[in-house]
């Protein structure tokens, strides 16, 4: 029952926002901006730049509301706009560089995860330390749930390059986690 009324509330706000109702647009912004800032921040190291990208993303959201067909999640639709904005910013700043695909030597390493108890901020710092190409593919795949074929299309790279970037990102993150574990626990 609550979900139905929430959906109707979204639809009512979206309908008003499509007619340039500033109050409705503001309400939608207030509802979704914290989460969308977090999405932008995953791709961009600098908080101010992430906020700029989020704001330009919301400008696109409000100018393209007529293209939202009420199919699927409205939040997911906004999220896709934010991801595209962040990737566009990285491209514009020439930060999205990819190494050519190379052979993944050990496929067991490709899927290995290291268990650890890390704080969210520490994990974000580790992700921020990745080169932009690695970080972008990692976030698209591991956080956003994109498939390599979708990442390849979105970033205009090959699927094998996407897989290689993910492999290398995971490898670097594993090295960071090992260092943290050694520093924190004095273990190997």
8 in the same domain as 86: yes
Q: Is 71 exposed, middle or buried, given 0-12, 13-18 or 19+ CB atoms closer than 10 A?
A: exposed
Q: How confident is the model at residue 34 (pLDDT cuts 50, 70, 90)?
A: very high
In a domain, 148, yes or no: yes
Residue of higher predicted confidence among 71 and 44: 44
pLDDT of residue 106: 40
In a domain, 170, yes or no: yes
Same-domain check for residues 9 and 38: yes
- 73-123 pLDDT tens trace: 899 999 999 999 998 898 887 755 665 544 444 433 333 333 344 566 777
pLDDT at 53: 95
Q: If you average pLDDT over every residue of the chain, what do you get?
A: 81
Residue 80 near residue 43 (C-beta atoms within 8 A) = no
- Work out the average pLDDT over 8-14: 82
Q: 56 with 93: CB under 8 angstroms? A: no
> How sure is the predictor about 176, in pLDDT bands with cuts at 50, 70 and 90?
confident
Q: What is the CATH number of the domain that holds 28?
A: 1.10.1740.10
Inter-residue contact 137 to 165 (CB < 8 Å):
yes
- Boundaries of domain holding 123: 107-185
Q: Quick count: other Cβ atoms within 10 Å of Cβ 86?
A: 24
Phi and psi torsions of 98, nearest 5°: -125, 140
* pLDDT reading at 72 higher than 70: yes
How high is the pLDDT of residue 118?
A: 53
- Report the 10 Å Cβ neighbour count for 111: 8
Asked whether residue 98 is assigned to any structural domain, the reply reads no
Task: Yes or no: say if 78 and 53 are a contact pair by the CB < 8 Å rule.
Answer: no
Task: Please identify which residue in the block is written with the tokens 């080169």.
Answer: 131
How far out from the chain centre does Cα 155 lie?
Answer: 13
Q: Do 83 and 140 touch, CB atoms closer than 8 A?
A: yes
pTM equals: 0.64
Note the pLDDT of residue 111. 35
């Amino acid at each position: 029952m609550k979900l139905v009324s929430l959906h109707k509330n979204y639809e009512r706000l979206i309908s008003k926002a499509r007619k340039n109702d500033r109050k409705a647009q503001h309400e939608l912004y207030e509802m979704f901006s914290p989460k969308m800032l977090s999405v932008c921040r995953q791709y961009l190291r600098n908080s101010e730049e992430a906020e700029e990208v989020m704001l330009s993303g919301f400008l696109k959201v409000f100018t393209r509301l007529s293209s939202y067909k009420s199919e699927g999640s409205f939040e997911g639709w906004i999220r896709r706009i934010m991801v595209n904005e962040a990737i566009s910013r990285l491209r514009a700043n020439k930060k999205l560089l990819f190494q050519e695909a190379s052979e993944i030597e050990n496929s067991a390493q490709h899927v290995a995860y290291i268990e650890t108890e890390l704080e969210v901020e520490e994990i974000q710092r580790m992700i921020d330390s990745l080169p932009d190409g690695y970080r972008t593919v990692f976030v698209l795949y591991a956080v956003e749930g994109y498939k390599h074929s979708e990442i390849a299309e979105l970033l205009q790279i090959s699927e094998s390059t996407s897989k290689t970037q993910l492999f290398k990102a995971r490898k670097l993150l594993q090295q960071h986690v090992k260092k943290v574990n050694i520093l924190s626990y004095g273990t190997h």
